[in-house]
Amino acid sequence: MGLEMFSLQGKIAVVTGGGRGLGRAIAEGFAEAGADVVLVARTQAQLDAAARHIEGLGRRAHPVAADVTKRRDVEHVVAEAVQRFGQIDILANVAGMNIEGPSAEQTEEDWDAVLAVNLKGCYLGCQTVGRHMIERGGGRIINMSSIGGLIGIARNSAYTAAKAGIIMLSRSLAVEWARYRINVNALCPGYFITDINRDYFASESGQAFIKRFIPLRRTGQIEEIKGAAIFLASPASNFMTGSALVIDGGQTAW
C-alpha cells in the first residue's frame, strides 16, 4: 500500500483542545494528511487562528467554541460537524488541564475541575461521537492520556488519576466497540514544549530534569506528536485497538 496507508484523504476529524498546543498540532497533522477538521476549544480567538492556518493548507476547518465538560456543548459540536461535513470519521480528545500542588492540600474543587476536563470530557466526547460512529459502522477515536497515566508524578495526583482513567476508558471502549469497527486508542506523550512549560525547560532546573529523566536528553517538539496521531487515525493502524502508544523520549523506559 505504501504511504497511502497513512492518508486521511476524505476523512472528517473532530479535535478537542484544537486551539493551541498539542491539540492544534494534531489538528494540523490531520489536515496535512488530507482530512477536514472541526476544531473545538473554549477560546474563539484561538480556534479562529487555528482554522485559518488549516485553511491555508488547502483543507476545510470549522471552529466550534464549546466546553467539553458539558454534555449539551458536546452534542452541539457533533451536530455542527455532521451538519457541516455529513460525518465524523476521527475523534481526537485532546482537551486537558492541570492544577499542580501538594496532594494533602488539594481542594475538592481542584480535584473536580481536573477530573472533569480530562476524564469526563473525554468520556462525553467518546460517548457522543461513538453513537454516530456506531450508526455509520466505524471510526477512529484517539484519547490523549500521558505518561502520567503510567507512572506516578508527585504533586499531580488528580492529573495522573485522570490520565490513567483515560487509558482504561480507551481499553474498555475498544473491547465494547470493536464489533462496530471503531478503533479506540490512547496516546501517552511525555514532555513536549508548549507555551505553558517553555520557560521552565529553558531554565537550569528544567535542563537538569531533562538530562536526568529523559534518555534522549531533550523534550519533544510539538511537530513530533503529529506522526503518532496520524498513524492512529489512519489505515496504517487497522489492527490496533485498546493500546496506549507512548511517545516520551524514553522516559518511561528507565
CA-to-CA distance for 85 and 82, rounded, in angstroms? 5
Residue from 123, 159, 191, 200 carrying the catalytic annotation = 159
Is-catalytic flag, 159?
A: yes
Buried b (16+ CB within 10 A) or exposed e, 23-39: bbbbbbbbbebbbbbbb
Which residue shows C-alpha cell 538530562? 211
Dihedrals φ, ψ of 138, to 5°?
A: 155, 170
Residues 192-214: b if buried by 16+ CB within 10 A, e if exposed: bbbeeeeeebeeeebeeebeebb
56: Cβ contacts below 8 Å, ≥ 6 apart: none
CA 77 to chain CA centroid, Å, is: 16
Within 8 A by CB and 6+ apart from 122, the residues are 68, 93, 95, 143, 144, 166, 169
Q: Report the C-alpha gap between 10 and 34 in whole angstroms.
A: 7
Catalytic residues, by residue number, are 159
